Amino acid sequence: MRTTVEFEGVDELILSKAVEVGLARSKTGALRMGVFALNREYKLIKDIELEFVGKKIMKEKTKMNKKGEKYLSEEKALAKYR
């Protein structure tokens, strides 16, 4: 995801200071650190791998619905190997 943001005031000072003292290589890096700190503090995503799998499945379902496709049953999927 690409996002453009503009910071002024305290936000900008904090990002600049994080780069200046060497906590982050860039302001973008400092923002990424902030996102991870936010997740650590509020436990927004408990199992990251599970979230990625769920997101991928939803993307595949949406794609299949658009094309009118259905999942194969186990029998049909393995039929040519039996």
Predicted confidence at residue 71, as pLDDT, reads 86
CB proximity list for 38: less than 8 A, separation 6 or greater: 44
Q: Structure tokens of 35? A: 């996102």
When pLDDT is cut at 50, 70 and 90, the band that residue 35 belongs to is very high
* pLDDT band at residue 5 using 50, 70 and 90 as cut-offs: very high
Assess contact for 11 and 27: CB atoms under 8 A: no
Mean pLDDT along residues 1-16: 95
Whole-number pLDDT of residue 72: 86
Domain boundaries, the chain: 10-81
For the question of whether the overall pTM of this predicted structure is more than 0.85, the answer is no
Q: pLDDT averaged over the chain? A: 94
